[in-house]
Amino acid sequence: MRWKRGGGSQDVIDARGAGGGGGGLSGLPVGRAGGGLGVVGILVYLAIQLLGGGVDLGVNSPLSGAGGTATSDPIPASQDPDRDLKDFSVYVFHNTQNTWQRILKADGKPYQHAKLVLYRNGVNTACGSATSAVGPFYCPGDKRVYLDLSFYGDMVDKLGGRGGDFAWAYVIAHEMGHHVQQQLGISDQVDRARQDNPDNANELSVRLELQADCYAGVWAHAVYAAGDLQKGDVDEALDAANSVGDDRLQRRAGGSINPDSFTHGSSEQRKKWFERGRADGNPADCDTFNADEL
């Protein structure tokens, strides 16, 4: 993906603290920064969730009791081993935000900016506290996307993805998809439906997550229209979607595949809905809630 470093840090909070972190993008060209979704202990976490009857990566979910507090001193660029990944993440976040602001404005709908929080190890949010093990997530309570940059390496090492800059971009665009759902009132409708009919909670969660995947595809279409997609980008995004499918995660955690416990959708479903959004870039194509077949 073609991108530019810079553009300011508007709507970005770097709470990683002084001293730098692990990972980084050493050896990768700045114009095509690689990324990763660090998921420390994710397989152990998934195994625990399987024993409890469900799998949840923490995406768009209320989190509590995980502990951990982010520090607030920014890392100087010259001392930041993750500088390329950070700058790429900030670029994708701003680009996604600008894309959705333009789309919703054209449709006569208001848009309130989300914020991006970069943290390490743990963070406190309006949805509770979380550790890096839950992966990237969006908190509707404070309208913030939370990223621990170490998740990029973990996506490759622990989830079996191949990585790449657009795989990381897909992750950020998915979380921004949850912000769009919050802006449109979809998240609140789903929360009410879950409360009214708890037996359908998992199915509603899957439909919400697949719509966020589709919204990520809508953004990818805009990147293509701007001429910024490069060879292999879409394959990287599809590979990322495949690596976080519930069926694949359950299999990697050593358990049997139980569709009734899915909360995010299968690998094929996640790829399908990303592609649906990418095909025409039309958010109306992302109505997973009225789809007979996912």
Q: 94-110: string of b/e by CB count within 10 Å (b at 16+)? A: bbbbebbbebbeeeeee
* Token pair belonging to 293: 């077949």
pLDDT value at position 4? Answer: 77
User: Number of C-alpha atoms within 13 angstroms, CB side, residue 104?
Assistant: 19
Output the CA torsion 268→273→276→278 (10° steps).
-100
For residue 205, the surrounding DSSP H or E stretch is helix 201-225
| Amino acid 252: pLDDT | 57
Residue 30 confidence (pLDDT)? 28
Domain-by-domain residue ranges, the chain?
A: 12-290
pLDDT tens digits, the chain, 294 residues: what are they?
A: 777 777 667 899 988 873 333 333 332 222 222 222 222 233 333 333 333 333 333 334 333 333 333 334 567 777 777 888 888 899 999 999 999 999 999 999 999 999 999 998 888 999 888 888 778 889 999 999 999 888 887 766 655 556 677 888 888 999 999 999 999 999 999 999 999 999 888 889 999 999 999 999 999 999 988 887 777 777 777 777 766 666 556 655 666 566 666 678 888 889 899 999 999 999 999 999 999 888
Q: By C-alpha distance, which of 203, 207, 224 is closest to 273?
A: 207
In one-letter notation, the amino acid at residue 154 is D
pLDDT at residue 264, rounded to an integer: 81
pLDDT value at residue 101: 96
Taking the C-alpha atoms of residue 86 and residue 6, their distance in angstroms, rounded to an integer, is 11
